[in-house]
């Protein structure tokens, strides 16, 4: 009996200890700005793309760094179409040149920022902070560059998809593209730790499933059946929560290379959605 009691108490201690560890270390589990170092590994110029370095300041006085990349076909007219790009939780803007090139080939300008604590941006990353970063990026496009709201497509991948959905619910873009998104941090956490009350432990929401309900623009949800990090079912949940008009683009390949593996199907799906959204 004493042996059983010792094992039981030890098990309880381990369970609560592991839960406490998860609670305390959530920031390090969610944000990976240093996965390849904070330095930029390349610039758009290295790919032959015309661009400007951008420094903007958030509502709480955090300096952010970004790139405004001009499309060859749109350089003389900024209102032909611009993608506001929110990247995932690892690395920085210099790791997104393939995607930037893709949008540029579709005749679009691209504005991409590093969240606070990423790349050359200052500050420490937080959920509220990333939302303020998104608002600052939107203000830069619409105020500083005088780009019309109905010519901006908001795009987000992975963690960035949740940030993009939140912003799209606050403003009036031409359209929203949500790629490889989770429905919420709690939902993903429950998948990884089914034995823990993740909904109670999670200090982060990033509730894409809820924020996407608030948008008033066309939405495209793209997700790969082969995604090894964020299950396909998470993308379906996001899609089911989105209001009409909406489209779903089924991709192939892993979480980080699905947009490349899917090839022309992916590019064609994006191009069709963007053209329809910009012509409304």
140 secondary structure, DSSP code: I
User: So what's the pLDDT on residue 8?
Assistant: 44
Q: In angstroms, what CA-CA distances link 149 with 79, 91, 240?
A: 9, 28, 26
Which of left, alpha, beta for 184 (phi over 0: left; psi -120 to 50: alpha)?
beta
User: So what's the pLDDT on residue 202?
Assistant: 59
Grouped pLDDT means (10 residues each) for the chain, 280 residues: 52 44 55 75 95 97 97 66 96 96 95 96 96 98 96 98 98 98 86 60 83 97 96 97 98 94 95 94
User: So what's the pLDDT on residue 239?
Assistant: 98
**Gap between the Cα atoms of 130 and 115, Å rounded:** 6
Contact 147, 82 (CB under 8 A): yes
Q: State in words which class domain 33-188+203-278 has.
A: alpha beta
User: So what's the pLDDT on residue 18?
Assistant: 40
Residue 266: CB atoms within 10 A of its CB come to 22
Q: What is the pTM of this model?
A: 0.90
User: So what's the pLDDT on residue 3?
Assistant: 58
- Domain locations in the chain as residue ranges: 33-188+203-278
Q: In angstroms, what CA-CA distances link 193 with 36, 189, 205, 237?
A: 27, 6, 16, 19
């Amino acid at each position: 009996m004493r042996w059983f009691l010792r094992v039981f108490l030890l098990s309880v201690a381990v369970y609560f200890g592991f839960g406490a560890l998860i609670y305390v270390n959530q920031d390090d589990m969610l944000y990976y700005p240093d996965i390849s170092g904070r330095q930029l590994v390349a610039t758009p110029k290295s790919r032959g793309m015309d661009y400007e370095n951008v420094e903007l300041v958030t509502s709480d006085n955090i300096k952010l760094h970004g790139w405004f990349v001009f499309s060859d076909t749109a350089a003389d007219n900024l209102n032909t179409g611009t993608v506001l790009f929110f990247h995932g939780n690892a690395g920085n803007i210099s790791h997104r040149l393939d995607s930037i090139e893709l949008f540029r080939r579709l005749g679009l300008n691209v504005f991409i920022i590093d969240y606070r604590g990423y790349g050359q941006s200052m500050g420490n990353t937080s959920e509220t902070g990333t939302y303020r970063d998104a608002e600052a990026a939107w203000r830069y496009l619409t105020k500083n560059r005088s780009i019309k709201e109905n010519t901006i497509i908001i795009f987000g991948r992975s963690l960035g998809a949740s940030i993009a959905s939140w912003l799209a619910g606050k403003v009036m873009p031409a359209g929203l593209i949500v790629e490889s998104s989770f429905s919420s941090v709690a939902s993903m956490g429950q998948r990884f730790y089914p034995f823990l009350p993740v909904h109670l432990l999670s200090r982060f929401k990033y509730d894409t499933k809820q924020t996407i309900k608030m948008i008033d623009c066309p939405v495209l949800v793209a997700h790969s059946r082969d995604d090894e990090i964020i299950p396909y079912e998470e993308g379906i949940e996001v899609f089911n929560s989105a209001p009409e008009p909406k489209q779903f683009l089924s991709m192939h390949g892993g979480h980080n290379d699905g947009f490349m593996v899917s090839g022309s199907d992916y590019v064609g799906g994006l191009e069709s959605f963007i053209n329809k959204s910009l012509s409304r």
